[in-house]
Amino acid sequence: MSTFKQEPHKLLLIPGPIEVTDEVLYANAYPPVAHTSADFIPIFGDSIRLTRELLYSSDAQIFLIAGSGTLGWDQVSSNLIEPGEEVLVLNSGYFGDSFSDCLKTYGAKVDEIRADFGAAVSKSDLEKALLAKKYKAVAFTHVDTSTGVLSDAKMVGETVKAISPDSLVILDGVCSVASEEIRMDDWSIDAVISASQKGLGAPPGLSIVAVSQAALKVSATRKTPVTSYYASWKRWLPIMNAYESGKPMYFATPPVNLIRAYHTSLKQITRAAPSLADRFKLHKEASQRVKDAVAELGLKQVPTDPYYAANGMSAVYLPDGLGVADLVPRLAQRDVVITGGLHKDYKDKYFRIGHMGVTAVNPERGDLDKLIAALKDSVREAIASKKLQSRTENKRTTQVRPRPYLRTTSARL
C-alpha cells in the first residue's frame, strides 16, 4: 500500500475531468513499462474484461485507444457507417451537434430530432421518425454534458429494436459511464462511447468504446473501406484480442501509464466497496443532495423534468441578473472549481457542477459539503454585490444627471 498523497489542489467539480483517487494518480506515475511486457499485458487484458463487466455485457468488444472521448465518435462514424447511409441523431444539446458533425464528416446523411433546451427526445418523436424512414443507426448522448439532460437509454434501445431491429443503437456515454447504469446487452445498445476522465475516474486521454458482436459484424462486412487509419477497428481488433488472451501485439503504442491508472480505477469501481449497484445509488443520492441545495437557494435546474436530470452532474440557472463571471470565480476563491454553461444559446445563463466518481461515492472526503457551503456563500455574495453595484450606479446616475435649472445656468454661461 503506497503512502502517496496528491498535492493540495482546488476541488475539481466540473463535469469532467474529475477528482481522482490517490491510488489512481499513483498508478499513473508508475515508471513507464514496455507495452509488450509481461507486466503490462495482464493489466490491459483485465481492463478490457472489467470494462465489459461495468457495462453489464457478456461479449461486447472493447477498444481502449489513446485519445479523448471525441475519438469514440470517429470510431463509430468511420467503422459503422458507410457514405450515404442514413443516421438519426437524438439531439439533447451541444454534444449532439458535435456527434452529428462527426457522422457527416464520414459521409453519413444525418436527420436530427432536436429536443428543447433542457429536455430529452420523447419516445413518441423517436417512434414517429423510425416509422417514417429506415435508419442504419440511431445515435444519442446519454448525458449531454452541456445541459445535464439524461436520456432514457433503455427506452431508446427498446424502441429502436421494436420498430427497426436492424438499426444500430449508438450511445455516447462519455458523461455517463460509471455514474449512470448502462445495461448494454439487456437494453440492446450496439455501441457505447466513453473516455477516462469522467465517471471512470482516471486522468483524460483514453478513448473507451464497447461494440456489440452484431455491430462488429456490420463493420467487418461493410462494402466500402474505412476512411480512417488510426480509428479503424480492423487494425485494432487483433491488438485487443491479443491483449485479452495474454499476448502482446503492436499497432500503435498504447498509453501504458494511463491504462494502468484506468485499470486501478476499474478495480476500485468493480471490485471494491461500494458495489456497482450501490455506486449508481450513491450517485443518485449525491445528485439529489446537490439539487436540493440548489433548490434551497431558489435556483432552477436546466433539465425541465427531474426524471431526465443526470445523476453525475447538475446544470443550474444563475439567479436573475447574474452571469457566469459573477459566480464561478467566487467558488474558485473558495477552492472549488465549477464551470459555466456550454449550450451556445444559453451559456451565460447557467452553470454546471460535476458530482461524479469519488466525490459522489466517498462522503468522507467531504467534497459535497465543501461544494454546497461554497455555493451558498458565493451565490449570496454575488447577489449582494450586484445589488450594491446597482445601488451605487443608481446613485451615480442621480448625481450626474443635470437638473433642469443647472442646465439653464450652464447654457447661460
Residue ranges binding ligand PLP (CB under 6 A): 16, 68-70, 95, 141, 144-145, 172, 174-175, 195
In the bound complex, which residue of the shown chain has the CB atom lying closest to ligand PLP?
69
Least spacing, CB of residue 283 vs ligand PLP, in Å: 16
What is residue 145's three-state secondary structure?
coil
The nearer residue to ligand PLP, 69 or 203, going by C-beta atoms, is: 69
Report the residue number, 16 or 341, with the smaller CB distance to ligand PLP. Answer: 16
What is the rounded distance in angstroms from the CA atom of residue 218 to the CA atom of residue 222?
6
Rounded least distance, CB 231 to ligand PLP, Å: 13
Cβ(11)–Cβ(365) below 8 Å: no
Closest distance of CB 51 from ligand PLP, Å: 16
Measured from the CB of residue 233, what is the shortest distance to ligand PLP in angstroms? 19
Q: Minimal distance in Å, beta carbon 206 to ligand PLP?
A: 9
Amino acid letter, 237: L
Which C-beta is closer to ligand PLP: that of 330 or that of 343?
343
- Cβ proximity to ligand PLP, 69 vs 254, nearer residue: 69
Sort strands 313-317 and 149-150 into parallel, antiparallel or unpaired: unpaired
d(CA 88, CA 102): 13
Coil/strand/helix, residue 257: helix
Residue for grid cell 509481461: 38
Number of helices (H), then strands (E), belonging to the chain: the values are 14, 14
Q: Which is nearer to ligand PLP, 70 or 232 (CB)?
A: 70
Is residue 6 within 8 Å of 22, Cβ to Cβ? yes
CB-wise, 40 or 95, nearer to ligand PLP? Answer: 95
At position 45, the amino acid (one-letter code) is G
Looking at residue 1, the DSSP 8-state letter turns out to be -
**Least separation, in Å, of the C-beta of 108 and ligand PLP?**
17
Ramachandran sector of residue 279 (left: φ over 0; alpha: ψ -120 to 50; beta: rest): alpha
DSSP per-residue letters across 358-369: HHHH-GGG-HHH
Q: Smallest gap, in angstroms, from Cβ of residue 270 to ligand PLP?
A: 22
If the CB atoms of residues 71 and 168 are measured against ligand PLP, the closer one turns out to be 71
